[in-house]
Amino acid sequence: MLLAALWLFLPSAASIPKIAGQFDVMATISHVIDENHDAEGTVAADLERLLDRLPAHISAMIRRGEVSYAPSEDRFEYKLVLPLVPPAT
pLDDT tens column, 41-69: 999 999 999 999 999 999 999 999 999 99
Give a yes or no: residue 71 inside a domain: yes
Instruction: Determine the structural domain holding residue 57 and report its residue range.
Output: 14-81
Using 50, 70 and 90 to split pLDDT, how confident is the model at 84? confident
Give a yes or no: residue 69 inside a domain: yes
Give a yes or no: residue 5 inside a domain: no
pLDDT tens column, 4-36: 444 445 556 666 677 778 889 999 999 999 999
d(CA 61, CA 23): 14
Give a yes or no: residue 77 inside a domain: yes
Total domains in the chain come to: 1
Give a yes or no: residue 88 inside a domain: no
Our CA dihedral for 53, 54, 60, 64, rounded to 10 degrees, sits at -90
Give a yes or no: residue 57 inside a domain: yes
